Structure 1
Amino acid sequence: MTLRDDGTYDWDMEGLQRHALLVMQGLEAAVENLDDSRVLADILYELGRKHARFNVHEDMFDKLWHALKFGLEDALQDRFNREVAQAWFIIFRFLSRKIIEGMLEHRAKMAEEKAKQEIGDKPDKITDKGKPR
């Protein structure tokens, strides 16, 4: 997806389909590893790191939930009811919170590394050109 000059989006439908498939595979992997919290935490943490690198923001997960719910309603049709929606929402909320934790941790780490670089690149203000007076 790219932003056009007029403020509208140019959708890459193939890319969107690939991403949707990756999301579903990620959900499947998460559900398969619900009993192994360490593996699940590692998977979700890494997903968070990847999403942080692509500048994904936390509020985007709300939009993802609505898209996922729409897809579930379409796929399950009359089998989609309040209980099914609630069950999926609970697991989605758990997974998205863990992914967001990974995103926030990654951003904090990157900000810390950037600050260290900036401090290391600047001469000491008490000294001339980094050398004691």
Structure 2
Amino acid sequence: MGCSPSAETPRSGRAGDGGEDGREEDDAVRVSLSAESRRVIRQSWREIQEDVSRVGIIMFVRLFETHPECKDIFFIFKDVDDVEALRTSRELRAHGLRTMSFIEKTVARIDQDERLEQLILELGRKHYRYSASPKYYEYVGTEFIRAIQPVLKERWSPALEEAWKMLFLYITCTMKRGFQQAQREPAHT
């Protein structure tokens, strides 16, 4: 079936998606981003951008606090247990900004399904090269949502939360597909 950001019937069996019938086993999630969900994501992103650096740091500090096993992916943070050292780390700030930049690109392409899919698939492929297991991907969306709630304050709503959850479900699902595609590729020497 595959992940699709649209409310239309999901596309099926495209070449290169994996499996004999062109489908990924872990990919049977249907993601529906309505026009209203896309609108509220774009609108909230404009507000989040004003504090993007802080959101990135908060997101990763919380990620490492709630799921310390995620630090194993980041060799530089693997043995750092001091939360203040994480908050002031230039490396963590840089990675947080890269992640926020990716989210910005995602929001910019939110109405361009094919371009959005390719962007996210490539990120999944890169995460394979970094040995960043897909089992951690969903945690990032959860911590992003927790980090943006205080930024958006009274503008936060259940509908906005659901829209961001659906977007991150799509990102997670599609990244996993990109990771699996890269995993199946022959090693380049």
TM-score, with length taken from structure 1: 0.71
Question: What RMSD in Å do the two structures reach over aligned CA positions?
Answer: 2.3
User: Are 2:124 and 2:175, in contact at CA under 8 Å, matched by a contact in 1?
Assistant: yes
Indicate the larger mover: 12-21 or 40-49: 12-21
Residues 94-113 of structure 1 aligned to structure 2 (within 5 Å) = 94-109=170-185, 113=186
Taking structure 1 as reference, are residues 106 and 69 closer, same or farther at Cα in structure 2, changes over 3 Å only?
same
Letter in 2 for 1:19: H
Counterpart for residue 38 of structure 1: 114
- Percent identity, aligned pairs only? 19
Structure 1: unaligned runs, 5 residues or longer: 118-133
CA contact (8 A) 2:128 2:183 kept: yes
Aligned to 2:159: 83
SS at match of 1:3: coil
Is structure 2 residue 132 aligned with structure 1 residue 56? yes
In structure 2, runs of 5+ residues without a counterpart are 1-75
Distance 1:97 1:53 in 2: 18
Work out the CA distance in 1 between the residues paired with 2:100 and 2:145: 12
Q: Number of residues paired by the alignment? A: 110
2:148 to 72, 81, 87: 72
Higher relative contact order (CA 8 A, sep 6+): 2
Q: Distance in 2 between matches of 1:68 and 1:78?
A: 17
Q: CA deviation at 1:8?
A: 5.2
Larger radius of gyration: 1
Kindly state the Cα deviation for residue 86 of structure 1 after the two structures are TM-superposed. 0.5
Task: Confirm whether residue 26 of structure 1 aligns to residue 90 of structure 2.
Answer: no
Contact 2:121 2:175 in 1 (8 A): yes
Q: Distance in 1 between matches of 2:106 and 2:119?
A: 8
Offset of 1:42 from its aligned partner?
Answer: 1.7
